[in-house]
Chain A
Amino acid sequence: KAGVTQTPRYLIKTRGQQVTLSCSPISGHRSVSWYQQTPGQGLQFLFEYFSETQRNKGNFPGRFSGRQFSNSRSEMNVSTLELGDSALYLCASSLARGQGFTSSGANVLTFGAGSRLTVL
């Protein structure tokens, strides 16, 4: 079956612009988590969506937002881009909640290849 698809794979923006990244999860997966990856900070959790609702949020400013559609596809948006927003943005999907665990256990995340954003 198809994996997690992220688009676009690469993009270049300038400071002050905004960007929208898209993530199509594995069919049947209802949870989508977003991460920012930079060399210095590692993997930083942005937010998790499950059944179209944001369930969990990391420590990022309000410029970072997201949403999830009824088909579980998710988008994240970054407004007023700053140089420090340059990063690899990774999306991960899972059957149930990807953050934390339930009585059934902790879910495995399936990651996309990421969207590499460069802000000039």
Chain B
Amino acid sequence: AQKVTQAQTEISVVEKEDVTLDCVYETRDTTYYLFWYKQPPSGELVFLIRRNSFDEQNEISGRYSWNFQKSTSSFNFTITASQVVDSAVYFCALSSNAGNNRKLIWGLGTSLAVNP
């Protein structure tokens, strides 16, 4: 079965702290894609990153970084020096074609509150 687990339901930090959002996935596929999306209070989800299963390089984009480890089936997201504008719900998702059944499987999300 395919599954995405975001064990942290809510996280609260003070501005400028670093914070890591965990994402653990389950799949038997050898080819798959992983995503992170951000949902600010306005409601629309915003794409942050896409990674395929063959690319385990970590990625850094400004204050954001992602650590993809196939050995532990994790795709964790770190925000360095958090800011109030980072307050949002963050979703991790797994794209799969298992058995020709195309799916995008979502975690339940982690609500991040960055306090001034």
Contacts and interface: CB of A to CB of B under 8 A. Distances in A.
Contact of B108 (A33, A42, A88): A42
A92 B39 CA distance: 13
B102 to A, nearest CB: 2
Q: Determine the interface band of chain A, counting residues with CB < 8 A from chain B.
A: 20 to 34
Contacts of B46: 111
Interface stretch (B16-24, B76-84, B91-99): B91-99
A55 B109 CA distance: 26
A112 B44 contact: yes
Interface residues of B, number: 25
A108 interface: yes
Q: Identify the interface centre among B42, B50, B107: most chain A CB within 10 Å of its CB.
A: B50
B97 A92 contact: no
Nearest to A3: B44
B108 A105 contact: no
A16 to B, nearest CB: 27
B106 A101 contact: no
B91 A105 contact: no
Nearest to A55: B102
Interface of A: 3-4, 33, 42-43, 45, 55-56, 88, 90, 92, 97-101, 105-106, 108-114, 116
14 contacts: A43-B91, A45-B104, A92-B45, A99-B95, A99-B102, A99-B103, A100-B101, A100-B103, A100-B104, A101-B33, A106-B35, A106-B95, A111-B45, A114-B44
Interface of B: 31-33, 35, 37, 42-47, 50, 52, 91, 95-97, 101-104, 106-109
